[in-house]
Amino acid sequence: MVEAGRGVPITLTIVVLVAGSNAVLWSSSPHSILACDGHEVTIPWSFTLIPNETVISITWFVERNDGTKNLFSSLTEGEFFSPSRQHVQFVPNAGLRLQNVTDSDTGVYSVHVSTLDGAGHVTISNRSAAVQVTAPPVLSGGQFLARHRSAPEKDDVTGVWHVILECGQFTDRGRPPVTVQWRTPSGAVYTNVNYREASSALVWSSSPEVKENITACAGDDVSIPWSFTTSPTETVIGITWFLERHDGIRTILSSIIDGEFFSLSRQHVQLVPNAGVRLQNVTVRDTGLYSVHVSTSDDAGHVTINNRSAAVEISAPPVLSDGQFLARRRAAPARDDVTGTWHVVLECGQFTDRGQPPINVQWTSPSGTVHTDVNYQDGYFLLPLQAVETGNYTCSLTGSSPARRCLASDSILLRETAVYVDDENVKWTVMEANQREFIEKEERLRQENEALKSQVQNLTQRLHQLQDAIDIENTPSGQASCADIQQQYSMSGVYKLSVENVSMSVYCDLVTDGGGWTNLHILTSSRRVEMRVDLQAYDGTRAFVVYGNYTIGNSSTNYTFNYDTFQGEDAGNSLLIHKGHEFATQDHGSNAHCAVTYHGGWWFNDCLRSNLNGIYRPNATTPHADGIIWADFKMFETSLKRTEMKIRPLS
């Protein structure tokens, strides 16, 4: 806590980025995805959080084949944004669905999940997948032809004349480009063939192409002035116009049949000689890729289809509620879910329609700072105030909004709208919000405390019931081990033992492997015993080991342990390197550093191959050796679900 210039306390939050730890557990997902042009592609990334982790944001990137890497989409404060592509859907809880893909969607996609733990550490976890989008080849006139050329060709190297066979005619070889093979009557196959672009049967005049987008406003007339001339040997047999919208649906727009012009899917379409069209009173539904296909026939009867295309983008102006462009402060402040800080929020609107493509606004502070990274919600563009300034905050449309040019010259949206902010008033508002939050939190804690009290009472009552069920006071005297207890009892439970005039209550396992086991190491000093270690993994597999003549020294040896024999090859002898070593804790022993690093006391040997006193993990995944470890059974990155160490006297 530091003091600001006017005596107002300001809280500084320091966020620490942590690399290399696993804050999330990823489910299995494909590393590469192959799809066709126009299809839908789903990248099914998903994850689960480890305890104490909270997701603060999810960001997706795409790296194209040319090496450029761009922000693709983001999920912030529960709202999904896709700034670089339309028709993208969020697939819970970290996946994407791309609709109507094209080859421009080919690239390496990656997701980056930012999480925050209880200590304020931020971790970024990521996954990636390569997406390859292919497109089919396109034939001229839809015909796949094989024929020989009317005239032979001379080999420039040998001077020999050859008859040429040709296979096609392709207007587009697809992506990646297709190849063909020729097969002779005897079955010989030729794959080393050349591809040559078909010669054009006509010459196009200067006209818009795909890269020269035609832009217009809703209600305008749009002309696409295609025209051409043909060679003397070519005759036009048909002209057809197509429209492909952003949803991937391609329809016939118009055609000329027997010299007559027809408009099949839209009214108010006119022919612009000799291959253009004029669209009257356009709407945003007229946005799309327009193409004209001219079919011609030569003297030999060969049909050729030539085409041109152009992209048309129709914009529509935004619409205000009641025609008023307002900037104002929201009555109630909003709480930042990540930092927990309360902010006063400014809103600019109210829009009933953001136009097409949707417009954006910018906020300008009294000092001139421009904010363009604003959220849109329920007709308003929102600006949470971080550092508050006294004065007018102004809101205006960004100059990059294409729909802006469709506004009338006297539109109120071409001007700024402002709201006055007083920093002292803002501080009081935030202070009141903090006070309300504190009162609500105090009430929640009171309710939780009452619930915990009730749970403690229930648990205490249950404990008393269990103690009554196993009356350890009635255990006959003189029993020195659980093996002695087994002579008179068959149910596992808590019994009283007497060892060297010392009476103690211990839990006896009277079932496993013939029974007679106890977990008390002190009994190893009174007689020769064997120790059994039972292991269970999260995948359900089990194993055990037995150590013969198992001993633990007294406090003067720091409880050094030893054994003579070992059996249990399924689990492996993960105590071998620990044999003869003292028990170390985080504040005691020559291997205390190991106890600190791996969070538990054990017979460490700088450091471990086993540790049954490590951190208990809710699932099998654990950082290297930092869990319930028996390395010869499940290696160092797998924590065990359940373990038992117990002893019984040797017969």
Regarding whether 302 and 332 lie in a shared domain, the answer is no
Regarding whether 354 and 423 lie in a shared domain, the answer is yes
- Three-state DSSP at 96 gives strand
Regarding whether 295 and 410 lie in a shared domain, the answer is no
Residue 157: inside a domain? no
| Least confident among 92-106, 242-256, 271-285, 480-494 | 480-494
* Contacts of residue 39, Cβ cutoff 8 Å, sequence gap at least 6: 100, 101, 133
* Contacts of residue 11, Cβ cutoff 8 Å, sequence gap at least 6: 1, 341
Q: Point out the domain boundary residue: 282, 315, 348.
A: 315
241, 292 in Cβ contact below 8 A? yes
Residue 392: inside a domain? yes
Regarding whether 557 and 526 lie in a shared domain, the answer is yes
Whole-number CA gyration radius for the chain: 39
80-97 pLDDT tens trace? 888 777 788 899 889 999
- Three-state DSSP at 270 gives strand
| The two three-digit tokens of residue 118, written as one number | 């209880």
Averaged pLDDT, 127-133? 94
Percentage of the chain beyond pLDDT 90 is 41
Residue 514: inside a domain? no
Per-residue pLDDT at 229: 86
Regarding whether 336 and 289 lie in a shared domain, the answer is no
278, 253 in Cβ contact below 8 A? no
314, 283 in Cβ contact below 8 A? yes
Q: Which range marks the domain in which residue 416 is found?
A: 322-428
Q: Point out the domain boundary residue: 315, 339, 355.
A: 315
Report the relative pairing of strands 370-371 and 334-335 from DSSP bridges.
Answer: unpaired
| Least confident among 13-22, 264-273, 605-614 | 13-22
Residue 202: inside a domain? no
456-476 pLDDT tens trace? 888 887 786 676 555 445 555
Regarding whether 342 and 409 lie in a shared domain, the answer is yes
Regarding whether 637 and 531 lie in a shared domain, the answer is yes
Alpha-carbon separation of residue 88 from 27, 353, 359, 394, 463 (angstroms): 22, 21, 19, 32, 56
Distance of CA 82 to the CA centre of its chain: 13
Q: What percentage of the chain's residues is helix, strand, coil (to nearest 5)?
A: 15, 40, 45
- Please report, for the domain that includes residue 52, its CATH number: 2.60.40.10
Q: How far apart are CA 444 and CA 248, in angstroms?
A: 53
More confident residue, 213 or 450: 450
Exposed, middle or buried: residue 192 (CB in 10 Å: 0-12, 13-18, 19+)? exposed
Residue with tokens 């929102």: 382
Regarding whether 627 and 538 lie in a shared domain, the answer is yes
Alpha-carbon separation of residue 493 from 467, 511, 515, 535, 649 (angstroms): 10, 11, 12, 20, 18
Number of domains in the chain: 4
Residue 479: inside a domain? no
pLDDT at 626 exceeding the cut of 80: yes
561, 579 in Cβ contact below 8 A? yes
Report the relative pairing of strands 121-134 and 32-36 from DSSP bridges.
Answer: parallel
Regarding whether 241 and 121 lie in a shared domain, the answer is no
- Three-state DSSP at 101 gives coil
239, 307 in Cβ contact below 8 A? no
Per-residue pLDDT at 5: 40
What's the pLDDT band for 650 if we cut at 50, 70, 90?
confident
pLDDT at 162 exceeding the cut of 80: yes
Q: Point out the domain boundary residue: 102, 134, 166.
A: 134
Residue 97: inside a domain? yes
pLDDT at 581 exceeding the cut of 70: yes
- Please report, for the domain that includes residue 582, its CATH number: 3.90.215.10
| Least confident among 21-30, 429-438, 571-580 | 21-30
- Please report, for the domain that includes residue 402, its CATH number: 2.60.40
Regarding whether 644 and 574 lie in a shared domain, the answer is yes
Regarding whether 524 and 637 lie in a shared domain, the answer is yes
Report the relative pairing of strands 391-397 and 361-364 from DSSP bridges.
Answer: antiparallel
What are the residues facing 277 on neighbouring strands?
Answer: 224, 271
123 phi and psi angles, rounded to 5 deg: -120, 135
Per-residue pLDDT at 8: 39
Model confidence, pTM: 0.41
Residue 186: inside a domain? no
Residue 165: inside a domain? no
Regarding whether 377 and 296 lie in a shared domain, the answer is no
498-543 pLDDT tens trace? 766 767 777 787 887 778 777 555 566 667 889 999 999 999 999 9
379-416 pLDDT tens trace? 999 999 988 999 999 999 998 778 888 999 899 999 99
| Least confident among 145-149, 172-176, 314-318 | 145-149
